[in-house]
């Protein structure tokens, strides 16, 4: 009987080992462990044996059964692990299925990045209409009466109003600054807000000049603040946009609606300030003008310049986008050319 | 404006270790933007003085000569030359190999190399003036004439830049950064800034004294509001001759052309102190009297080129007792010119106001070196600087010159601005407490008079800054800050006064709508111009009667400002069809139409602005495009958290197909439309072999939800039963009728498919729909389900004439 059991064990283990599919293993399991298996039959016939034999054979049989169980489980585990949902291997180098979807214009993306940055600093987003008047575009902003921008050729005046003046002479806004007075007239001070938008200049168009382009202006009006706080704001914003701290410098600049006025240059990101074609070899790129709001502008907004002060910055969105991606032709932004726009996914 | 550093150094001794690059940087931070630093010597490299020792005939060419020339090297060199004025012993200009010359004064510079000409070697080239930038110094009379340095102090091998004093460095300054600084339109003003920046003394300019008992020249100012001062000086024993080399060099460095000594003196003085001057031939001034008056009606000014310009009564002219001689402060006429026979002049040193110069200059569309300066508003004291320097130079250049008559008509002197500047104001606005020594020192060196009393600086601005540039305490504060440099002030943290939540609801909705269209619906955002080509406006059949137009449009066909974004969309589609077949684009922008709107105040009337959002789906299958665009609008409100949009079918948009359009309704108001472009619109817009579905909505009418409003519904405890139903109905039966019939009877009703074709009887269509039915309290038995479906079918039959489609 012992020899028989030994044979059953060896044969059984061989059988398990030779099995190659889970389905076949199921059969083997039945063969070895099932009710009609040799082991089951032996166990059923134990009663006919002597007490001593019964104990010995019973123990041995159970051991073999346990061994089979373990081996069967192990085999099943191995067979399961080597199974695939695919009938055959596939070409893993084929490209994945494209995620379809459109893209926002790169200028819009930049604008939203800035909105996020400014909102985190407590700014509100404001907007003004495309058409404004000489009063808001020039008079309120301390532009001299005979400033060249007021002439026929530099600004797009609206037909029928071009020979009138002040609030009756309408134009496509030549800059965003007029909106600052509109906001302050409506909401008063203190205030901190941004007002992105498109502006229009009657210019000849080339790779670096456009007739319609986007600006992003921010203004803070408060009591007792110094222009040097503007620097913190500028650095914070550039860091948000470019993802790291950017060297900037502030230099003298003149704009009628500020006193003092400054130009803010950032270190050229292309050459790291060493000088290259992009920065015309001086290492710096003019990125935004700014300055302390002029007392006359505060007066137009109904605010007392002895109480209130503040500062502007004005960012050219296209220029920032061009810097970010190395775009070399400003005309592409209004081209509606999907070969260009699709690159900004 | 070009600033010569050699010139500036006449007025300040700059530290010797200072590089031009550093000067440019320091000026840029504090005063004006230096765009470029130009080393004038560079273009003269390897161009030297040569002495022709011997001239031999060229064996193979009649017109060429072999010149044995000493160019300061160990041995004389042979140079082949075809110049018409060669002689032995002549001092000439030689471009050695490596030099760059401009052939015949035209085109890009070419590098000179050792070469052979007709078989004879030539070491470089003997040059004509215009070939090596010398035409300002040695004007040539004929084409083959080379430069003859006779009478010029020089030696063989000497670099020509040193001979002509062009060993200069020029700062190119951005004119825009100078618009508010009339004082910087002369070298003395720039020198003053540098003296302040480097803390070195500024040298004094000459003064003058008119000898007593000089005859009074007759000057009459009829328009004192336009001409604040006019000094007329009659000088005799001056005539046409060349200026000395140093003067030609400085004028050349500044980008002007030397003409003759008299004219050069006037230009030199202007470039030195920023005061324009004008010289009239005294014999041309009829009646020996200068009258500053408005032009008469129909008066004309005869110009040097014999053209005339018509004047108006607004234009200020300089006239004699008979005719206008010159357009004041802008340009002279033919009659005032300095000619070879001139022996005496009337020198004008005058102050004209900025506004009169700008107005007249604008009308004649003319900017001259004089008018650019007058336009900046010059102070009247500058006249004295001009007179003094000019008289000094006339004495220097014309030893025998003599003042014979003089008049200073001075009706309106410029007044210095007086400003009170509290210390506290400076402390707060600068964000830093500066010592009163620092403040006083900066202001004084800039020319302010400062008197500190009881914590208030009583300052008097320098007269050269008092014509508008400096008038407020902010201006003075700005001067202090810029000299110390803005970036030297430590950045101050910005504090936030937190008082209320910022909502920006509409702005955030705009962003959600754009992101929905791009990221969920697959549209690419575009921007197009507000002025649209009339042909696309006409193609879209947009009514332009209430359009707003530009007075001076970019082009005649671009005069109309858009009242719809559809025409721009048509243009963008037509353009992109060259490269793509299937695409989706959208734009959000303002459109305008005539109307009355007051944004900020009553007196300002603006046209009506609306912000539109417009999109297009382009691909061949028109029906699919339509339902896709409908889906985009149906889902928009849900995804963008705004109040609902619904559809109606009332008014066909001008661009839409007769069979496929819907109006979009929001709060019972039509706020836009969707539809397919009609064949005729596509044809006119040259959109070929495809189809386009368009949506256009007025974003201004959208109302953002204050927060998310998704609402929770308990998940059904018992499973719903899902059943598909295929029915046959008459072709005219709409989905809306099906919905009407059974939607309220089921948990969910979904459209699956519409079919018509061979397997369907004519005039019928097959509709497959999916319903979900269920009961909250018990599971439906298959019998109950059958009953329910039977019931639905009966309803559909009764209301829509539907019958079950037999498979």
Q: What's the rounded Cα separation, in Å, for the pair B685 and B680? A: 9
**Is residue A282 scored above 80 in pLDDT?**
no
A224 φ, ψ to 5°? 50, 45
Closest-CA distance, A210 to chain B, in angstroms, reads: 11
CB B548 within 8 A of CB B594: yes
Structure confidence by residue, pLDDT tens digits, B759-777: 888 889 999 999 999 888 8
Contact B655, B694 (CB under 8 A): yes
- Concatenate the DSSP letters of all residues of B3-27 into one string: EEHHHHTTTB---TT--HHHHHHHH
CA dihedral for B566, B568, B570, B576, sign (positive or negative): negative
Written as one string, the DSSP assignment of B416-482 is PPEEEEEHHHHHHHHTSPPPHHHHHHHHHHTT-EEEEETTEEEEE--GGGTTTTS-SHHHHHHHHHH
Name chain B contacts of A259, Cβ cutoff 8 Å: 472, 474-475, 478
> Looking at the complex, does the CB of residue B501 fall below 8 Å from at least one CB of chain A?
no
Which position has the higher pLDDT, B292 or A325? B292
Whether the Cβ atoms of residue B43 and residue B100 lie closer than 8 Å to each other? yes
What is the model's pLDDT at position A233?
83
Strand B331-332 and strand B402-409: the pairing is unpaired
Residue A54 vs residue B504, higher pLDDT: A54
B533 pLDDT exceeds 80?
A: yes
Which of B446, B472, B486 should we substitute to test contact with A (largest number of A Cβ atoms within 10 Å)? B486
**Which domains are present in chain B?**
2-41+168-198 (3.30.56.10), 46-158 (2.40.50.140), 215-409 (3.50.40.10), 418-486 (3.30.56.10), 505-701 (3.30.930.10), 721-804 (3.30.70.380)
pLDDT at B368 over 70: yes
The pLDDT of residue B37: 93
> What residues pair up with B181 in beta bridges, in sequence order?
none
Would the pLDDT of A280 be above 80?
A: no
Q: Is the pLDDT of residue B78 over 90?
A: yes
C-alpha distance from B8 to closest chain A C-alpha (Å): 21
Within 10 A of B504 (CB to CB), how many other CB atoms are there?
A: 18
User: Residue B125 pLDDT > 90, yes or no?
Assistant: yes
Work out the average pLDDT over B63-80. 93
Q: For all residues of chain B together, what is the average pLDDT? A: 93
Buried b (16+ CB within 10 A) or exposed e, B73-93: eeebbbbbbebeebeeebbbb
- Report how far residue B592's alpha carbon sits from residue B613's, in angstroms, rounded to the nearest whole number: 14
Cα–Cα distance between B45 and A339 in angstroms, integer? 48
Answer whether A252 sits within 8 Å of B29, measured CB to CB.
Answer: yes
What does each C-alpha distance from B761 to A257, B7, B755, B758, B766 come to in angstroms? Answer: 77, 99, 11, 7, 10
- Interchain CB distance below 8 Å, A157 and B491: no
Cβ–Cβ pairs < 8 A, chains A and B: 246
Q: Does A197 touch chain B (CB under 8 A)?
A: no
Pick from B45, B134, B40, B34: which is nearest to B92 by CA? B134
pLDDT tens digits, B673-698? 999 999 999 999 999 999 999 999 99
B446 chain-A contacts, CB cut-off 8 A: none
Give the per-residue pLDDT at A226.
84
- What is the per-residue pLDDT for B371? 93
**Contact assessment for residue B362 and residue B264, using Cβ atoms and an 8 Å cutoff:** no
Nearest to B491 among A136, A185, A229 (CB): A229
Maximum mean pLDDT: which of A8-22, A41-55, B616-630, B729-743: B616-630
Contact across the interface for B474 and A292, Cβ inside 8 Å: yes
> Any idea which of A264-273, B189-198, B571-580 has the lowest mean pLDDT?
A264-273
pLDDT in tens, B2-61: 999 999 999 999 999 999 999 999 999 999 999 899 999 999 999 999 999 999 999 988
Answer whether B165's CB lies under 8 Å from B246's CB. Answer: yes
Partners of B771 in beta bridges: B723, B749
B676 CB-side CA count, 13 A: 19
pLDDT above 80 (res B648): yes
Window from B243-257, B345-359, B705-719 with minimum mean pLDDT:
B705-719
Q: What is the pLDDT of residues B543-583, one digit of tens each?
A: 999 999 999 899 999 999 999 999 999 999 999 999 999 99
Cβ of B496 within 8 Å of Cβ of A341? The answer is no
Closest by CA position to B469, among listed B531, B421, B419, B398:
B419
Asked whether B150 and B97 are in contact (CB, 8 A), the reply is no
Say what percent of chain B tops pLDDT 90.
Answer: 80
Q: What is the pLDDT of residue B411?
A: 96
**How many CB atoms within 10 Å of residue A145?**
10
pLDDT of A2 > 90? The answer is: no
> Mean pLDDT, to the nearest integer, of B624-652?
94
Q: What are A90-111's pLDDT values in tens digits? A: 999 998 988 888 999 999 999 9
A253 neighbourhood in chain B, CB within 8 Å: 33, 177
Burial class of residue B587, CB neighbours in 10 A (0-12, 13-18, 19+): buried
CA pair distance B635, B652, nearest whole angstrom: 22
Instruction: Please name the residues in contact with B503: beta carbons below 8 A apart, sequence gap of 6 or more.
Output: none
Chain-chain contact of A159 with B550 (C-beta, under 8 angstroms)? yes
Check B514 against A104: CB less than 8 A apart: yes
The minimum CA-CA distance between A102 and chain B, rounded to whole Å, is 4
Dihedral angle, C-alpha B223, B224, B228, B230, nearest 10 °: 60
Instruction: Check residues B122 and A148 and name the one with the higher pLDDT.
Output: B122
Please, are residues B51 and B90 in contact by the beta-carbon 8 Å criterion? yes
Q: What's this model's pTM, rounded to 2 decimal places?
A: 0.83
Distance of alpha carbon B387 from alpha carbon B231, whole angstroms = 8
Q: What value does the mean pLDDT take over residues A135-142?
A: 93
> What pLDDT is stored for residue B807 in this prediction?
63
What is the per-residue pLDDT for A5? 86
Residues 325-344 (A) with a CB less than 8 A from some CB of B:
333-339, 341-342
* Mean pLDDT rounded to a whole number for chain A: 89
3-state secondary structure of B59: coil
DSSP B567-613: HHHHHHHHHHTTT-SSEEEEEEEEEEEEEEE-SS-TT--EEEEEEEE
Cβ <8 Å between A226 and B431 = yes
Q: Which H, E and C letters describe B71-140, residue by residue? A: CCCCCCEEEEECCCCCCCCCEEEEECCCCEECHHHCCCCEECCCEEECCEEECCEECCHHHHCCCCCCCC
Residue B630 main-chain phi, psi, to 5 deg: -65, -40
Which residue in chain A has the smallest CA separation from B609?
A129
Closest chain B residue to A301 measured between Cα atoms? B600
What CA–CA distance (Å, rounded) separates B1 from B369? 10
Cβ-based contacts of B377 with chain A (< 8 Å): none
Q: Which residues pair with B57 in a beta bridge?
A: B65
Q: Which pLDDT score, from 0 to 100, does residue B514 have?
A: 97
Rg (CA), chain B: 42
- Angstrom CA distances, B270 to B373, B770, B780, stand at 9, 90, 103
Tell me if chain A has a CB within 8 Å of the CB of B524: yes
* pLDDT tops 80 at residue B257: yes
Angle between helices B187-198 and B436-445 (to 10 degrees): 160
Beta-carbon separation of A157 and B551 below 8 A: yes
What CA dihedral angle connects A317, A321, A323 and A325, to 10 degrees? 180
pLDDT digits (tens, 9 = 90+) for B774-798: 888 888 889 999 999 999 999 999 9
CA dihedral A42, A48, A51, A54 (to 10 degrees): 0
Mark yes or no for CB contact A212/B549 under 8 Å.
no
> Rounded to whole angstroms, how far apart are CA atoms A242 and A246?
8
Domain boundaries, chain A: 2-81, 106-344
To test the contact with chain A by mutation, choose from B551, B554, B596, B685 the residue with the greatest count of A C-beta atoms within 10 A, namely B551
Q: What letters, b where the CB count within 10 A reaches 16 and e where it falls short, cover A227-239?
A: bbbbbebbbbbbe
Q: How confident is the model at residue B237 (pLDDT cuts 50, 70, 90)?
A: very high
Contact with chain A for residue B555, Cβ under 8 A: no
Q: How far is CA A47 from CA A315, B426, B512, in A?
A: 98, 114, 82
Residue A152 has pLDDT above 70, yes or no: no
Q: Does B592 touch chain A (CB under 8 A)?
A: yes
Q: Considering only CA atoms, which of B370, B422, B350 is closest in space to residue B263?
A: B370
User: For B265-275, what is the mean pLDDT?
Assistant: 97
- B518 Cβ under 8 Å from any chain A Cβ: yes
Mean pLDDT of B349-365: 89
Quick: pLDDT tens for B455-479. Answer: 999 999 999 999 989 999 999 999 9
**In this complex, do A131 and B548 lie within 8 Å of one another by their Cβ atoms?**
yes
Q: What is the pLDDT of residue A319?
A: 86
B494 and A338: CB-CB below 8 Å?
Answer: no
Q: Which residues does chain A have within 8 Å of residue B554's beta carbon, measured at their own beta carbons?
A: 202, 211
Over 80: is that where the pLDDT of A20 sits?
Answer: yes
CB atoms within 10 A of CB B259: 17
Residue from the list B35, B354, B523 with its beta carbon closest to the beta carbon of A102: B523
Do the chains contact at A129 and B504, CB–CB below 8 Å?
Answer: no
| Partner-chain residue, chosen from B362, B490, B496, that has the shortest CB–CB distance to A151 | B362
Cβ neighbours, 10 Å, residue B132 = 24
The chain A residue lying nearest B356, using CA atoms, is A146
Q: Which residue has the higher pLDDT, B628 or A150?
A: B628
Say if A54 is an interface residue toward chain B (CB within 8 Å): no
- Nearest of B269, B290, B294, B236 to residue B383 by alpha carbon: B269
Start-to-end CA span in chain A (Å): 77
Cα A40 to the chain's mean position, in Å?
68
Q: Tell me what ipTM this predicted complex has.
A: 0.85
**Residue numbers in A near B487 (CB within 8 A):** 231, 249-251
> What's chain A look like in SS3?
CHHHHHHHHHHHHHHHHHCCCHHHHHHHHHHHHCCCCHHHHHHHCHHHCCHHHHHHHHHHHHHHHHHHHHHHHHHHHHHHHCCCCCCCCCCCCCCCCCCCCCCCCHHHHHHHHHHHHHHHCCCEECCCCCEEEHHHHCHHHCCCCCCHHHCCCCCCEECCCCCCCHHHCEEECCCCCHHHHHHHHHHCCCEEEEEEEEEECCCCCECCECCEEEEEEEEEEEECCCCCHHHHHHHHHHHHHHCCCCCEEEEEECCCCEEEEEEEEEECCCCCCCCCCCCCCCCEEEEEEEEEECHHHHHHCCCCCCCEEEEEEEEEHHHHHHHHHCCCCHHHHHCCCHHHHHHHC
CA pair distance A227, A312, nearest whole angstrom = 9
State the architecture of A106-344 in CATH terms: 2-Layer Sandwich (3.30)
Neighbours of A26 (CB within 10 A): 13
């Amino acid at each position: 009987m012992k020899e028989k059991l030994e044979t059953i064990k060896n044969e059984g283990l061989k059988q398990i080992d030779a099995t190659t599919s889970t389905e076949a293993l199921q059969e083997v399991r039945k063969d070895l462990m099932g009710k009609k298996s040799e082991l089951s039959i032996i166990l059923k016939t134990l009663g006919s044996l002597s007490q001593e034999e019964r104990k010995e054979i019973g123990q041995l049989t159970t051991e073999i059964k346990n061994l089979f169980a373990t081996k069967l489980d192990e085999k099943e585990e191995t067979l399961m692990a080597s199974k695939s949902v695919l009938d055959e291997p596939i070409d893993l180098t084929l490209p994945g299925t494209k995620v379809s979807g459109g893209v926002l214009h790169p200028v819009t993306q930049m604008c939203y990045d800035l909105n996020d940055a400014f909102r985190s600093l407590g700014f509100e987003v404001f907007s003004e209409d495309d058409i404004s008047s000489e009063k808001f575009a020039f008079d309120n902003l301390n532009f001299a009466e005979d400033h060249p921008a007021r002439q026929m050729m530099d600004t797009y005046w609206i037909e029928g109003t071009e020979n009138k003046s002040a609030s009756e002479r309408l134009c496509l806004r030549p800059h965003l600054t007029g909106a600052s007075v509109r906001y302050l007239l409506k909401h008063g001070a203190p205030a901190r807000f941004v007002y992105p938008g498109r502006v229009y200049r009657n210019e000849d168009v080339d790779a670096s000049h456009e007739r319609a382009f986007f600006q992003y202006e921010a203004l803070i009006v408060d009591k007792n603040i110094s222009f040097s706080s503007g620097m913190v704001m500028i650095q914070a914003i550039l860091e948000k946009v470019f993802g790291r701290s950017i060297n900037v410098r502030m230099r003298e600049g003149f704009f009628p609606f500020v006193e003092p006025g400054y130009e803010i240059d950032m270190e050229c990101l292309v050459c790291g300030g060493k000088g290259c074609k992009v920065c015309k070899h001086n290492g710096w790129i003019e990125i935004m003008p700014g300055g302390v709001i002029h007392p006359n502008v505060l007066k137009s907004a109904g605010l007392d310049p002895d109480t209130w002060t503040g500062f502007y910055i004005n960012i050219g969105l296209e220029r920032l986008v061009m810097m970010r991606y190395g775009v070399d032709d400003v005309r592409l932004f209004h081209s509606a050319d999907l070969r260009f726009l699709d690159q900004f996914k | 404006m070009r600033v010569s550093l050699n010139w500036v150094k006449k007025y300040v001794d700059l530290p010797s270790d200072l590089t031009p690059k550093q000067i440019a940087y320091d000026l840029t931070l504090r005063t004006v933007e230096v765009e470029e630093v130009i080393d004038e010597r560079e273009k003269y490299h390897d161009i030297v003085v040569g002495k022709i020792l011997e001239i031999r005939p060229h064996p193979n060419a009649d017109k060429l000569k072999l010149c044995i020339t000493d160019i300061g090297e160990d041995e004389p060199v042979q140079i082949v030359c075809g110049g018409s004025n060669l002689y032995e012993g002549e001092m000439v200009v030689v471009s050695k190999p490596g030099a760059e010359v401009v052939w015949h004064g035209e085109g890009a510079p070419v590098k000179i190399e050792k070469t052979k000409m007709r078989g004879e070697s030539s070491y470089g080239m003997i040059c004509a003036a215009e070939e090596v930038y010398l035409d300002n110094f040695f004007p040539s009379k004929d084409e083959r004439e080379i430069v003859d340095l006779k009478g010029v102090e020089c030696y063989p091998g000497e670099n020509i830049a040193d001979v002509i004093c062009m060993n200069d460095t020029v700062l190119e300054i951005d004119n825009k950064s100078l618009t508010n600084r009339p004082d910087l339109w002369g070298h003395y003003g720039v020198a003053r800034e540098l003296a302040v920046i480097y803390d070195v003394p500024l040298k004094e300019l000459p003064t003058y004294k008119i000898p007593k008992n000089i005859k009074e020249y007759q000057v009459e100012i009829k328009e004192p509001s336009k001409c604040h001062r006019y000094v007329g000086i009659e000088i005799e024993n001056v005539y046409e001759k060349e200026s000395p080399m140093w003067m030609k060099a400085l004028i050349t460095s500044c980008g002007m052309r030397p003409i003759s000594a008299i004219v050069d003196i006037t230009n030199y003085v202007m470039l030195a102190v920023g005061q324009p001057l004008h010289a009239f031939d005294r014999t041309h001034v009829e009646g020996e009297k200068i009258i500053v008056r408005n032009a008469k009606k129909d008066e004309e000014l005869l110009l040097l080129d014999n053209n005339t310009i018509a004047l108006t009564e607004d234009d200020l002219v300089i006239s004699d007792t008979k005719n206008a001689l010159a357009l004041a402060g802008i340009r002279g006429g033919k009659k005032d010119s300095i000619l070879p026979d001139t022996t005496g002049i009337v020198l004008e040193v005058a102050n004209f106001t900025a506004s009169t110069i700008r107005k007249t200059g604008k009308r004649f569309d003319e900017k001259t070196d004089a008018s650019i300066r007058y336009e900046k508003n010059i102070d009247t004291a500058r006249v004295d600087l001009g007179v003094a320097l000019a008289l000094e130079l006339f004495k220097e250049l014309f030893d025998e010159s003599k003042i014979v008559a003089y008049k200073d008509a001075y009706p309106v002197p410029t007044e210095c601005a007086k400003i009170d500047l509290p210390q506290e104001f400076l402390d707060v606005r600068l964000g830093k407490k500066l010592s009163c020594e620092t403040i006083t020192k900066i202001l004084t060196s800039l020319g302010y008079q400062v008197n500190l009393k009881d914590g208030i600086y009583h300052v008097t601005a320098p007269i050269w800054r008092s014509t508008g540039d400096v008038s407020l305490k902010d201006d003075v504060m700005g001067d202090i800050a810029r000299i110390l440099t803005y970036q030297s002030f430590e950045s101050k943290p910005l504090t936030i006064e937190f008082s209320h939540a910022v909502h920006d609801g509409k702005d955030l909705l705009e962003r959600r709508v754009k992101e929905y269209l791009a990221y969920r619906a697959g549209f690419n955002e575009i921007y197009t111009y507000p002025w649209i080509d009339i042909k696309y406006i006409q193609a879209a059949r947009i009514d332009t009667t209430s359009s707003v137009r530009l007075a001076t449009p970019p082009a005649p066909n671009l005069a109309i400002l858009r009242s719809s974004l559809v025409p721009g969309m048509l243009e963008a589609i037509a353009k992109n069809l060259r490269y793509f077949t299937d695409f989706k684009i959208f734009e959000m922008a303002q459109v305008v139409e005539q109307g009355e709107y007051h944004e900020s105040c009553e007196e300002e009337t603006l046209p009506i602005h609306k912000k539109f959002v417009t999109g297009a789906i382009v691909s061949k299958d028109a029906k699919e495009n339509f339902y896709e665009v409908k889906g985009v609008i149906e889902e928009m409100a849900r995804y963008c958290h705004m109040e609902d949009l619904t559809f109606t079918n009332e008014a066909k948009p001008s661009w839409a197909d007769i069979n496929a359009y819907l109006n979009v309704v929001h709060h019972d108001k039509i706020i836009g439309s969707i539809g397919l472009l009609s064949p005729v619109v596509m044809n006119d817009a040259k959109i070929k072999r495809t189809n386009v579905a368009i949506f256009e909505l007025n974003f201004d009418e959208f109302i953002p939800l204050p927060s998310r409003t998704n609402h929770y519904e308990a998940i059904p405890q018992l499973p719903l039963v899902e059943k598909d139903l295929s029915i046959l109905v008459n072709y005219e039966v709409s989905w809306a009728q099906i919905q009407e019939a059974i939607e309220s009877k089921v948990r969910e009703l979904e459209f699956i498919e519409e079919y018509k074709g061979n397997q369907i009887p004519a005039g019928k269509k097959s509709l497959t729909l999916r319903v979900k039915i269920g009961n909250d309290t018990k599971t439906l038995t298959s019998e109950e389900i059958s009953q329910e479906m039977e019931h639905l079918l009966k309803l559909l039959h009764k209301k829509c004439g539907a019958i079950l489609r037999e498979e």
